[in-house]
Amino acid sequence: MTASRQPTNHPSYFIEGDTVIWSYNDRPLWGKDGNPLPIARPQAFRCIDGRWFTDGEHVIVQAQQGSGTAWHYFYRIEDADPATFEVLNERYARDARQAYFITGKTIRTRSPQAFRPLTYQGWHWPESGPLQPVACTHAYYAVDAESAYFNGKRVIGADGATVVGLPGNYIADARHVYYFGQRIDADRASLVVAPNGDGPLRMTDKLGPIDDGKRRTALDQDEVERWRDFFAALPTLQDYWWHRLQAPAAEATPARDVLYGGHRLTGLDPDTFAARELPVGHGFTGVFCGDAHGIHWLHRYSEGPCELTLLSSRPICSLQALGDGYLSDGVTVFYAPNHYETPQALRKVDPAGFTVLQRSWARDASRAFHRGTAKKGVNPDTLRIAGCYAWDDAQLFCDDKPLKVAAPHDALQVPHPGFLLAGEQLFFGRRPVSARRVHLPTLEFLDADFARDRKHAYIVGYVNLVAIDGADPATFRVLGKGRAADAAREYDAAALKEASAPATD
């Protein structure tokens, strides 16, 4: 430290003249825009706690964007009261009037003295001996007398007077359960969170286990067995889903479970249950199942359990495949990109006016869609699709990526599914084809595999048109699928494509 630098009560900050320096990069404090942060009284700069500071007139906060690779910056809370300012944890603070979140958000709480980070009971796993209950504090949840907050935002519907913290980013009030600040489907009255013997914490209600904020509705027998230690350690729990599965068939309550593909699917009506394999995107097949009360997406993991995700409250018999990954239950249109991603509902789409076009393009009365995403500014009435290209009067796409060409769009031609003729320019996909190599005025595509001009015969290769050595374009003709010939010999498309393929490491 130079003689002119004065220490503060924080080892990473010091004062040099009228400037506060952060030793992280040895530069004056800066704002979000990168410019120096105004500090009213630099000589009074001190750390309140953690990343919260003051210059005697303002509260100053060290914030960041991102986590792995973070951009650090500083900001002032203009209306905070330094005299009553209290740091609650790394992310939350309060003064006599309101509360604050580390990103610069002011929380207009009606009970600032009751505002606090939310605590919960966790468990510690020692190297030996029984589990030990420990008091923990949520990093992102806070509560006051009226509400709960997650990352500084009010948790909609949560009652602050009855909120309790739970492990794993859950909280609950007297009526509902929330995960990462969002209300989830769970029975609050029967909800239990406890260790599973000497294993990890588990959460369940009477209807079924809950994991990552979602109810597990598909359980195989091995999964059911792994819950045995949990319920054995809590004998006061009765008539939960696990107990009902253990009861002899003759004594059990009428089952609401269905066996499908070796998995037990809970909560479905066996009398109206149906499973349907329907085409989804990219040529895959997805499994949908349900009953008279709902349609579910069945997600199978490569190993272990499967999982049901509720898509619709409509009966399973209403689900129809529209083509190219689009489906409808008669009320909502869904897009399923493949067999492992959950289908997503398309917002504000009327199935009656929805039409699937080609190559995952679709339209309704006012919008065009590609693979389930509305394409901004595309006119569905003038949209044309040919091969891998799609265009209207203003925009041109190749495989959903914008492509700029000099030719007017009403003159575009697609002589082959992978090629676009735009005036005097030929494109293969998004890449222009050199006019010095191919004679466009005489170029003709003979079929999906072969083409010719006045100089050459070509194989339509993996990355472009590739001239066939020694072939005579004047006598070159197609014999059948994947076969062609000239006056001297025959040619095999598959062999020519492999021979002309780019080298790989």
Domain boundary among 93, 113, 133: 113
Whether residue 199 is contained in a domain is answered as: no
Query: Is residue 103 included in any domain, yes or no?
Result: yes
Q: What is the pLDDT of residue 169?
A: 92
What are 392-449's pLDDT values in tens digits? Answer: 999 999 998 999 999 999 999 999 999 999 999 999 999 999 988 999 999 999 999 9
Determine, yes or no, domain membership for 325: no
pLDDT in tens, 60-118: 999 887 666 678 899 999 889 999 999 999 999 999 999 999 988 999 999 999 999 99
- Higher-pLDDT residue of 4 and 205 is 205
Question: What tokens appear for 270 in the block?
Answer: 């066996």
Q: At 347, phi and psi to the nearest 5?
A: -75, 140
The residue behind tokens 């359990």 is 305
Q: Of the residues 113, 129, 151, which one is the last residue of a structural domain? A: 113
Whether 317 is covered by a domain: the verdict is no
Which residue range(s) make up the domain with 13?
5-113
Instruction: Give the pLDDT of residue 163.
Output: 97
d(CA 26, CA 139): 29
Q: Is 259 domain-assigned?
A: no
User: For the whole prediction, is pTM greater than 0.75?
Assistant: no
Instruction: Identify the CA nearest to 158 among candidates 188, 123, 126.
Output: 188
Tell me: the pLDDT tens digits for 235-256? 999 989 888 777 654 444 455 6
**Are the C-beta atoms of residues 99 and 118 closer than 8 Å to each other?**
no
CA distance 303 to 388: 36
Query: Is there a contact between 237 and 193 (Cβ–Cβ < 8 Å)?
Result: no
CB-based contacts of 131, cutoff 8 Å, min separation 6: 123, 124, 125, 195, 198
In a domain, 363, yes or no: no
Count of the separate structural domains present in the chain:
2
Least confident of 1-10, 57-66, 463-472: 1-10
Pick the last residue of a domain from 51, 78, 113: 113
- Any domain includes 315: no
Indicate whether 237 belongs to any domain. Answer: no
